Amino acid sequence: MWAYWQSVPAHWREIPARYRLEGGECQDCGYRMIPREDICPKCGSRNVKPINLPRKGNVVNYTVIWNAPRGYEYYTPYVIAIIELEDGTRLTAQLTDVEPSDVKEGMEVEMVLRKTRVSGESGLIAYSYKFRPLIK
């Protein structure tokens, strides 16, 4: 099935966001977003500049995935959360290094870089941000 392999160019072009949390900041209304949009979703401005988003935030909402999509079945159960970064920017991310039953709303988390999608034994290893509870 198509979903078995991660497209290489489709991952490659997202590397700035996936490795470094590069998002966008609207130069007119200040709204921050990930991914960076060409048009600000808040005010419609075309003046959106790249910005590295903060690496810390907290868990706003979460779910524990027991029925994974293709390519993620090896990792169950895993947690998908909506994270609010320190600057208020929200994103959806996987949590890691945490017991699903220990996840709480408001839990402080920090960005780490982890394997997210591995295409079999011979394909691409797609790395991306995940978040984990603060170490200290």
Partner 1 sequence: MVYIVGVGLTPVGNHWSKSLRHLAVEASVKALEDYGKDVDYVVVSNMLSGVINGQENLGSYVVSHLGKIGTPAIKVEAAGASGAAASVVAQGLISSGMAERVLVVGVEKMTDYTSLEDTTSALSTAIDSEYEGFPGGTLDAMHALVMREYMKKYGVNREDFSYFPLLMHKNAVDTPHAQLRFKLKPESYMRSPMIAEPITLLDLAPVSDGAAAIVLSKEPDGPNGNAEILSVGHATDTIAIYRRESLTEMPAIRAAFSEALERANIERGSIDLYNIHDYSSVLGYITTEELGLAERGKAPELFKNGGADRDGPTPVNPEGGLKARGNPVGATGVYQIAEAFLQVTGRAEGAQVEGAKTALTLSAGGLASNVIIHLIRGV
Partner 2 sequence: MRADRKVGIVGWGVYVPQWRIRSEELARGWGRDWKRYAAGIMVEEKSVPGLDEDTFTIAYEASVNALRRARIDPSKLRAVYVGTESKPYAVKTTATMLIEALGAGGEDRLTTGADYEFACKAGTEAIQSIIGLIGSGMIDYGLAVGADTAQGAPGDALEYTASAGGAAYILGPAEESIAIIEASLSHVTDTPDFWRRQHERYPAHTRAFTGEPAYFKHIMTAAKKLMGLIGTTPDDYDYAIFHQPNGKFPLRVGTRLGFTPDKIKPGLITPYIGNTYSGSALVGLAAVLDQAKPGQKILVVSFGSGAGSDAFHIEVNDKIEEVRDLAPKVMDYVNRKRYVDYTTYARYRRMIRMLHDFSAY
Nearest to partner 2 of 19, 43 (CB atom): 19
Question: Is 102 in a helix, a strand, or coil?
Answer: helix
28, 48 Cβ separation under 8 angstroms: no
**Residues between 73 and 92 that touch partner 1 (CB under 8 A):** 73, 75, 78, 80, 82, 90-92
CA angle 60, 65, 66 (to 5 degrees): 155
User: Does residue 21 bind partner 1 (CB under 8 A)?
Assistant: no
Nearest to Zn ion of 33, 107 (CB atom): 33
Alpha carbon distance 114, 18 (integer Å): 10
Rounded to a whole number, what is the distance in angstroms from the first to the last CA of the chain? 43
* Segment contacting Zn ion by CB under 5 A, of 30-38, 85-93, 98-106, 115-123: 30-38
62, 98 Cβ separation under 8 angstroms: no
User: Does residue 39 bind Zn ion (CB under 5 A)?
Assistant: no
Q: To which residue do tokens 């999509």 refer?
A: 69
Among 17, 23, 24, 26, binds Zn ion (CB under 5 A): 26
For 128, phi then psi, to 5°, come to -165, 165
Among 6, 20, 22, 45, binds Zn ion (CB under 5 A): 45
**Residues between 73 and 112 that touch Zn ion (CB under 5 A):** none
Contacts with partner 2 by CB under 8 A lie at: 1, 4, 15, 19-20, 70, 73-75, 96-97, 99, 112-116, 120, 125, 127, 130, 135-136
